[in-house]
Amino acid sequence: MQTYETLPSGLRVPKIGFGTWKIGGGNSADSSLDDWSLAALRSALALGYTHFDTAEMYANGHAEELLGRAVRETGVERESLLITSKVTPSNLGYKSVLRACASSLRRLGMDYLDIYLIHWPAANMPLEDSFRALNQLVAEGKVRHIGVSNFDLPLLRRSQALCATTIVTNQVPYSLGDRSYVKNGMLAYCQENDILLTAYSPVEEGQLKNSPALSAIADAHKATPQQIALAWLVQQPRVITIPMSGNPAHQADNLTAGEIVLSEEECALLN
């Protein structure tokens, strides 16, 4: 059963979504991965994932194409899904943002994005122009909510000032082993300001370092260490996460991790 974060705007986001990095390739498209990628997406849709996170950068747009195809082929209603995509740092000019969004929608075969993020900050990026375009996309109904990714606190605050609506999320690396965005104050700021912190690489791309505490807690809950790592994340207010797996059993484990309730003592051990 899915658990959700609901923002004051009414936006309701699943605590655990599905990331699409490596779907369709890496930095470039790899058609040899299409069958595997489509099987992974169909499985995730069948299991009940409703938040899918993609980007024009992923497989050079091919991840978006495959996600759109999987949605159409499985017959899942678009309105039941929450689709996030991202604009690359090289497309942050006013006209470039508009073109990038149009291209993402074309590849997805969809009329709108639920959330559209600036993927990475860039040196000397024209943030005022970026947000002029993003605000226009919201006004035109092509984007419903705006967010950012990999932004520090000064950039997030600047984005809030430029956004005509509200910044709904900052997507950053966050896991048991990577707490840099706790140390720099981002997590606390997001929690205090009703901004979702979307944790990517939540199990450190399969390199999660096991520990005696993590193993003991996993055993106590008849769960895997990866499930406990995800549960630790999403038990925190205003934190959601987007793990990715091509293995249906692991996909199911990831999705049900949100149902695991850790005690204060267990959280203290993990902290």
Residues 163-219 have pLDDT tens digits of 999 999 999 999 999 999 999 999 999 999 999 999 999 998 767 778 888 999 999
Cα separation, 16 vs 3, in Å, equals 8
User: Which residue matches tokens 């149009």?
Assistant: 102
Q: Is 229 helix (H, G, I), strand (E, B) or coil?
A: helix
SS3 164: coil
Identify the CATH number of the domain in which residue 88 sits. Answer: 3.20.20.100
For residue 5, being part of any structural domain is answered with: no
- Per-residue model confidence as pLDDT tens digits over 43-74: 999 999 999 999 999 999 999 999 999 999 99
**Would you call 58 a catalytic residue per the annotation?**
yes
Domain membership of residue 71 (yes or no) is yes
Q: What pLDDT score does 45 carry?
A: 98
Q: Which residues pair with 266 in a beta bridge?
A: none
Q: For the chain, what is the domain count?
A: 1
pLDDT at 209: 78
* Per-residue CA distances from 265 to 34, 91, 183, 188, 270 (Å): 44, 46, 22, 21, 9
The answer to whether 67 and 58 are in contact (CB under 8 A) is no
242 in any annotated domain: yes
- Model confidence pLDDT, tens digit, residues 110-131: 999 999 999 999 989 999 999 9
Q: Are residues 108 and 70 in contact, defined by beta-carbon separation less than 8 angstroms?
A: no
Q: Residue 238 domain-assigned?
A: yes
pLDDT score for 194: 97
Tell me the whole-structure pTM to 2 decimals.
0.97
* Per-residue pLDDT at 248: 97
CB–CB of 70/35 below 8 Å?
Answer: no
Give the Cβ contact number of residue 127 at 10 Å. Answer: 19
pLDDT interval class at 86 (50, 70, 90): very high
Residue 201 sits in which domain range? 13-270
Amino acid found at 121: P
- The end-to-end CA distance of the chain, in Å, is 26
What phi and psi values does residue 178 have, to the nearest 5 degrees?
-130, 100
Flag whether 4 is in a domain.
Answer: no
> Is 3 inside any structural domain?
no
Per DSSP, what are the bridge partners of residue 146?
A: 116, 167
Whole-number Å distance between alpha carbons of 130 and 137: 11
Q: Tell me, yes or no, whether 8 lies in a domain.
A: no
Q: How far is CA 1 from the centre of its chain?
A: 19
| Residue of 4, 49, 58, 94 marked catalytic | 58
Residue 1, in any domain of the structure: no
Confidence (pLDDT) at 24 = 97
CB 81 within 8 A of CB 34: no
